[in-house]
Structure 1
Amino acid sequence: MKTLKNTAGLSFFLLFVGLLTSCKQDATDSLDMNADVHLLSFHVDNVAGTVDNEKGTITVMVPAGTNLSAIAPTIELPPNATVKPAAGEPRDFSYSSTSPVVYRVYNGNVYTDYRVTIREIKAEITAFRIGDRTGIINQAESTILVYVPEGTDVTQLRPMIDYTSGAEILPALGSPVDFTTPVTYTLSYLGQTFNYTVTVVLGDEPKQPLLIFNGENVSPRWGDLGTTVQNQTNNPKTDGINPSPLCVSILRNATTGEGWHGGALWNDNKVNINPAAYNRFSIMVLKDVAGDVQIEIQSDGEANKDWLRARYAEDHLGEWQELIFEVPAERTAIINNILVMPHEHPNGQPVPFQTQRMYWDELKALPKE
């Protein structure tokens, strides 16, 4: 009887192990870990993107002027695969150069992510020199202005030009050019053309505004003053007077935001501006609350302080406004530190302060007129 009982127990145990093994085998057989999740192609209109399966990136170069805010791509997938966001679903790629849009391809029990960047085809002249004179380039207007010494023969000039790698330029580099009248330079790049009008003027170049910050190619880091400064912020309104993609922002809280809450260019990012040559500052500001904006200027070591204020007007709330700040006429001390904040008075003085986010961009020192 005892032997029979032990035999029955052993049989039950073996049956249980067999069932468990069978269940595990069924679960394993149902998993498909070898499905193809490599995206085959990614098109915007008729433009094919460059797909890098190893890096998980897709780059699409679209014609200049393409509306990047509502791109509906065509996507080719391997059999049985799906993708999110779905093919043909409009997505905003306006900021994909700095924040790529992620697409995830699913197939069976596996998936892979692709970071998608869509850029407009763009070729630029980045430097234009005649002898020791450097041209003033206005990228927004596609113009270049060069001042050369009085008496220069402008009919046979050979400018030195830096421009987008891979582009072709006409007139060709090294060829003599007659600048008696403005000359059009044309860049050809990826099937697109970009024209610059170059004007040569006899005489001394007037002092130009000094660009201190623009968020892109001139972007010293703003330090925190009582709140966190977001140095790489996407421009919330690019269809106004400030179309550049990046700016700076802070959120100042009405409860905890007494005194100085803003951003500062100082220490490793300090400036060196002589008020005898530059007596004003301009800066682009965007807020949802009207009121004074303040700039504090200091010499090194936080000495020789002046507080400059300009009004952010109520009739342009939510839009970029260019504010001008006047440096006191009596100031002679060099300006090394620049502090920016959305409002200059402590909470409740003279009116209650409202919680608000301020964006700023395009800080310049303006020469004396």
Structure 2
Amino acid sequence: MSAMPSTDFSGPAGPDRSACWPESDGPCRSRNARLDDPRYIAIDLTYRCGFACPFCFVKANGLLSSPKKELSLRRLRAFVDSLGGKPRHFYLTGGEPLLRKDLCALVAHIKAKGHSALITTNAWLLDRDRAVSLAKSRADEIVISLHGLPREHDRTAAADGAFYRAAKAVRLLRMAAKNGRPSINIWCTINAANHARLHELYLCIKKLRPDIIAFNHLEFMRAEDIRKTGAILGKKISIQPSQRRLAGINRAALWRQMLKIKKENDPKVKFYPALAWNDFRKWYSRGELKRKNGFCSGQWNSLWLSPSGEVLSCQPLGLKFGSMKDKTWRKIYHGGAYDDFRKKLLAAGGFLPVCSRCGRVPYAS
């Protein structure tokens, strides 16, 4: 996944905004509140994936997961049950979630408990039977990654026929949908291969008639930002610099393509984050960005799990605070290691240097 959404989260990648990720949380709760009930639950079900997208944080940081070490369906159901009755927004991602044969059973359990469920997928495995099963599970949203026109997308994914399979999956999902569910969203991570033909890609995606078309700005971390973050946290940060992803992107050409898309006045189209020219120009540079306003509310209203059950800060930063195989998620979420991280985060102004090009909108206060 890209940053999300993610993203790539492209992504999210990370959890980007959608029906499962409301456009506004209302007034932010106190940063000092001890939240027993995180509203957003992101689960990396697996880090396995047959694609090789060059902007993927999972691939870039060598994250791997063995099926034997991934949380079982029994453990995942028990985790869902432990959350209590308050409705949550589940973001099921990876890796490629459809590699989990028990995905639909998990979604059905999540829905039976009154929660919403968004699933990200590259759609390679999304055949007719899977489409029907996902519809029967009552999944709210299926997010399909398309990162270029057919030839560009296949090259980006390093998988011949990837675009064709994704386009076919959209049609299969639409035929299987019941009462408009699941909604079908397409996420595209802006990158060197697609940026100069983004409007043409938009027209191509539009023909598939998705419910949402999200263009996610390229997320990356500078080596200097990683070093500064490590100094703030007092530890070595084991993530790789990724500013090389900028190579080949012509800012002026990309901006012109974005303006052409915006002139279409298509209400289905979103850009994450929404950037005015000055912010856009700085985003697609190798320079340091000024600190964001507010703070990362995701550390107070969200819970992110790794495939093996580690409680994470988020997928891109990947700090681990403890495993649910050893403790309950509440003990970890409100434990000393996570609390210490939150204090350092606030002392740094609410965001860390590596957060400067994070497009995960729900994480912003």
TM-score (normalised: structure 1): 0.21
Which has more strand, going by share of residues? 1
Greater relative contact order (CA < 8 Å, ≥ 6 in sequence) = 2
- Name the one with the larger helix percent: 2
Using the size of structure 2 for normalisation, the TM-score is 0.21
